[in-house]
Amino acid sequence: MPTHLQCSGANNELRAVDYLKRQGYRIIERNFRTRTGEIDIIALDQDTLVFVEVKSKTSPAFGSPKNAVTFQKQRRISKTALFYLKMTRQSHVRARFDVVAITSDPAGDTIELIKNAFAPPPY
């Protein structure tokens, strides 16, 4: 049985998918998993393949959710994205990393899209 945190995360990912669609993204895949990590959403933004990390917080008092994408998390996402590109034979495509930050508080929810949130770290 999923925990409250897992249900909340899945709900926020659905909200992020809806938001991205309204921004013109075409969703290719959700929850792409490998042994090295997971990518929440893979989408197309015009001619760019976008790997999207969804982060949420219930209060801005603990910092922005976009700051929760640490260097280690960026590295895992980058390795997983590289695997995806090789697996799908798309190593030639233009790609980037975006973050959808969702902040929930009593005043309402805020959804923020950070395009080019980070560059792949050097290996």
> What pLDDT digit, counting tens, does each position of 20-68 carry?
999 999 999 999 999 989 999 999 999 999 999 999 877 656 666 667 7
Q: Does residue 7 have a pLDDT over 50? A: no
Q: Exposed, middle or buried: residue 79 (CB in 10 Å: 0-12, 13-18, 19+)?
A: middle
The domain locations on the chain are 4-118
Q: What is the mean pLDDT of residues 10-23?
A: 94
The residues pairing with 102 across neighbouring beta strands, listed in sequence order, are: 56, 111
Residue 90 has pLDDT above 70, yes or no: yes
Q: Does domain 4-118 have CATH number 3.40.1350.10?
A: yes
Give 61 or 70, the one with higher predicted confidence: 70
